[in-house]
Amino acid sequence: MTGLKMTKLSSNENCYGCSQMARDAILLNYQDAHLYPELHPHALKEQLAQKYGVRSRNIVLGAGSVGIINNLILSFVGNGEEVLTFENSFIAYGQLSHIHNHSCHFAPLADLSCDPVNLMSYINDKTKLIFIANPNNPTGTIITHAQLQAFLESVPERIVVVIDEAYAEYVTDPSFPNSVNLQARHSNLVILHSFSKIYGLAGLRIGFAIAENDIAAELTHCQIPFSLNYLSYHAASCALEDTRFIDDSAGRNDIQRKYLETEFRRMGYNTIATQSNFIYLWFDTDAEKVKVYDILLSNRIIICDLKVFGQELALRITIGDQETNTRIIELLS
């Protein structure tokens, strides 16, 4: 039956699974699944606060970082007010804004990255919330500390700026922002993190935000009671502790993304250096794109057709392990 297994490279999960320590925590705690979870898991909040050098009251946990994105929109965008983000970026920002009946505007990328300068001409009196994915999904590019700092210095303080760092642990570029430092001077900055990517816990749905006191209190206030499940925060706590697993995943990913980038370029594909665990390809025609998608699909490898992001001529491939990547290159050569 193993011959029928699909290799899923469409949602940027960790191809190496999750930490054994997190698995053990799941097995140990599932027997207590008849109990309600803690309303605000203090131990995990404290652990995160120590890791990031903030207070535990500045940590907000959520059912995935999309749960927190939803609560940010719910809490900070009123009737007639607007959300701003980038086109060719994470789709949940626009989707959730529309679910809550808010307009969401989309600034263009610059060289496939979320250059905040491009946001400036879209800001108006109604703008309340800005989302910047860093690294950007689906292009894998980053903005630097200097770019984010300059933006925070020029954007009105009444606007909440969200920097979504779901893939931060994969970044090796030293110019990546130290967002916690920036938050100390810009209290309107909210930092988002996910346990779904390098921590390998996508199925358990847990993410967190780091936010200034009032923003954190507001986000906590609008949470659905018990929305965090019992297994998620026990597993997350162990996943955080297992730094060997994280370093190993990041190291292997770095080797594999360099391999894919080099090989795709050698074969003449359009691609861009990625700081994440996925790689972006774009094509001149639909036929070329569909050909790549179909070759991989017929070999049981499922990747993301970025039609869902509104891009007709691009694909995103989650970076798999060495064996998978060698196979992809062989198939597309």
Binding interface with ligand PLP (CB under 6 A):
12, 64-66, 90, 133, 137, 164, 166, 194, 196, 202, 207
How far, in Å, CA of 226 to CA of 44, rounded?
15
- Output the DSSP codes for 33-79: TTSPPPSS-HHHHHHHHHHHTS-GGGEEEESHHHHHHHHHHHHH--T
Helices (runs of H) and strands (runs of E) counted in the chain? 11, 12
Are the beta carbons of 200 and 255 closer than 8 angstroms? Answer: no
- The CB-of-84 to ligand PLP minimum distance in angstroms stands at 16
Q: Which secondary structure element, helix H or strand E, spans residue 106, and what is its range?
A: strand 103-107
Residue with the shortest CB distance to ligand PLP? 64
- The CB-of-330 to ligand PLP minimum distance in angstroms stands at 28
- What is the DSSP pairing of strand 103-107 with strand 127-133? unpaired
Name the DSSP letter for residue 321.
Answer: -
Nearer to ligand PLP, 263 or 277 (CB): 277
Nearer to ligand PLP, 196 or 325 (CB): 196
How far, in Å, CA of 265 to CA of 260, rounded?
8
Nearer to ligand PLP, 151 or 263 (CB): 151
- The CB-of-105 to ligand PLP minimum distance in angstroms stands at 18
- The CB-of-191 to ligand PLP minimum distance in angstroms stands at 12
Nearer to ligand PLP, 64 or 177 (CB): 64
How far, in Å, CA of 137 to CA of 126, rounded?
26
Nearer to ligand PLP, 201 or 301 (CB): 201
- The CB-of-202 to ligand PLP minimum distance in angstroms stands at 5
- The CB-of-2 to ligand PLP minimum distance in angstroms stands at 27
Retrieve residue 52's tokens. 């990031």
How far, in Å, CA of 45 to CA of 239, rounded?
14
Nearer to ligand PLP, 47 or 136 (CB): 136
